[in-house]
Amino acid sequence: MKDNDTPQARAPGLKNVLAAHSGSLLSRRWLSLAIGLVVVAGVLWFVLRPDDDAKAPRYATQAAAVGTLVVKVSATGNLQPTNTVDVGSELSGIVDQVYVDDNDAVKKGQILARLDLSKLRDAVARSRASLAAAEAQVLQAQATVAEARAALARYQQVHALSDGKVPSRTEMDVAEANLKRAEANAASARANVVQARAALQSDETNLSKASIRSPIDGVVLSREVDPGQTVAASFQAPVLFKLAEDLTKMELQVDVDEADVAQVKAGQKATFGVDAWPGREYHAVITRVGYGAKQSEGVISYLTVLEVANDDLSLRPGMTGTAEITTLTRENALLVPNAALRFEPPAAGGAQPKQAGISVMGALMPRMPRQVPRSQQKAGSGTPRVWVLQEGQPVAVDVTTGATNGRMTEITGGDLKAGMQVITEALGTSS
């Protein structure tokens, strides 16, 4: 037996073996614990992983319904009297008196203002004097004619008694010429009378026109003249008064945009309001749609006239009114919101939805190919469509559209039925 084979000599080697065995055992325990944690985490993830149904998008829907579709066109304009008359003066002169003011009611023939009459009266007096002188000349000419006719008659009598000897033929011709000259002078005098009478009538007309009268029964909208003001009517008649014939009937003149003018026609009804009476609604009827275009800041519009009843005189000329013209009323129409026609499911854009996480075993196992949703099969088609939910998936329904009022659209054909819930928007995924 060797000296180093004693129990004391073997003790250090045994300790080393036991220490190594103990460390290996500890390492295996930690490895087992780590593997167990991974397995538990995998099981928990597999059990608690989000399902495809939980990630499915949610949609807002609205039922397709049968109702009345009313299409309206908006236009803005100003109120005007049905008949406005500008009253002016044909004569020049100084305004002597003004008898009416704004808002005064006037009658046809009533004097509104009067020019200074002094010069006009003088002209009338001169014309009357000229007429009297012309009439006197007529009397003088008539006397001359009578004298010449009597002289010629004596010559003829003497010529007959003298058996043609006296007076001579020359004297007879002179007497006849004197008679004709006298008759011509008488005719000229009578013409002078007519001319003088016409001049007198013209001056009297001017005198009457110096009193400016109302041509209609109506209301004075504005007065543009004051006493002492000079009126110059050299080239055109200046406007002194503006009259409205009947304010119980007025016109709303609006500008209809070129995009809407094809829908607007005479006889259509409209409603409008004015700022002076908030909340009050007035009724009107279109009487004329103009063909002449108006351009303002690059926008083309057409003048449209609406007839308005104003029995209580609450409306005044110049007020601004915003009209809603009813261009179409469709009863018992199948209606859907316009948002339903604009809606497209998120997956219909061509991008595939992000795949949810799968287990390691699932990744290794072959999967059946996913069926393309019907919502993606018709994407890109130009046919109008709406989308309805079937088994939680949006399904396209082709439709034929009719009129629209900007919020609802009429469905005139297709497979859509009343009561079907059409999708209007996507709300995101459910939690």
pLDDT, one tens digit per residue, over 224-272 is 999 999 998 877 778 999 999 888 999 999 999 999 999 999 999 999 9
Judge whether 376 and 394 are in contact, CB under 8 Å.
no
Q: Could you tell me which of 279, 275, 412, 420 has the C-alpha nearest to residue 340?
A: 420
Amino acid letter, residue 80: Q
Cα separation, 181 vs 173, in Å, equals 12
Q: Is 394 helix (H, G, I), strand (E, B) or coil?
A: strand
| Triad 196, 200, 206: Cα angle to 5° | 145
| Triad 401, 406, 412: Cα angle to 5° | 15
Q: Is 348 helix (H, G, I), strand (E, B) or coil?
A: helix
Q: Could you tell me which of 143, 166, 148 has the C-alpha nearest to residue 156?
A: 166
Instruction: Name the phi and psi angles at 291, rounded to 5.
Output: -90, -20
* Residue 217: burial class (beta carbons within 10 Å; 0-12, 13-18, 19+): middle
What secondary structure letter does DSSP report for 268?
-
Kind of pairing, strands 269-274 and 282-296? antiparallel
Judge whether 276 and 270 are in contact, CB under 8 Å.
no
Amino acid letter, residue 210: A
* Residue 103: burial class (beta carbons within 10 Å; 0-12, 13-18, 19+): exposed
Amino acid letter, residue 288: R
Amino acid letter, residue 39: V
Taking residue 7's Cβ as centre, other Cβ atoms within 10 Å add up to: 7
Judge whether 283 and 309 are in contact, CB under 8 Å.
yes
Q: How far is CA 353 from the centre of its chain?
A: 48
pLDDT at 372: 38
Neighbouring residues of 252: CB distance < 8 A, sequence distance ≥ 6 = 77, 78, 79, 80, 272, 284, 305, 306, 308, 321, 323
Cα separation, 201 vs 338, in Å, equals 75
* Residue 178: burial class (beta carbons within 10 Å; 0-12, 13-18, 19+): middle
Cα separation, 421 vs 387, in Å, equals 9
Dihedral sign of CA atoms 276, 281, 285, 289 in order: positive
What secondary structure letter does DSSP report for 170?
H
The alpha-carbon radius of gyration of the chain (Å, integer) is 55
pLDDT at 43: 62
Cα separation, 153 vs 145, in Å, equals 12
Bridge partner list, 218? 106
* Residues with pLDDT less than 70, the chain: 1-31, 40, 42-56, 347-382, 428-431
pLDDT at 17: 45
Cα separation, 90 vs 95, in Å, equals 13
Reduced 3-state DSSP string for 63-82: ECEEEEEEEEEEEEEEEEEC
Residue-wise pLDDT for 338-395, tens only, equals 999 998 887 544 444 343 334 444 443 444 434 434 444 444 456 889 999 887 788 8
pLDDT at 374: 43
Q: Angle, to 10 degrees, between the axis of helix 118-161 and the axis of helix 169-209?
A: 160
pLDDT at 159: 86
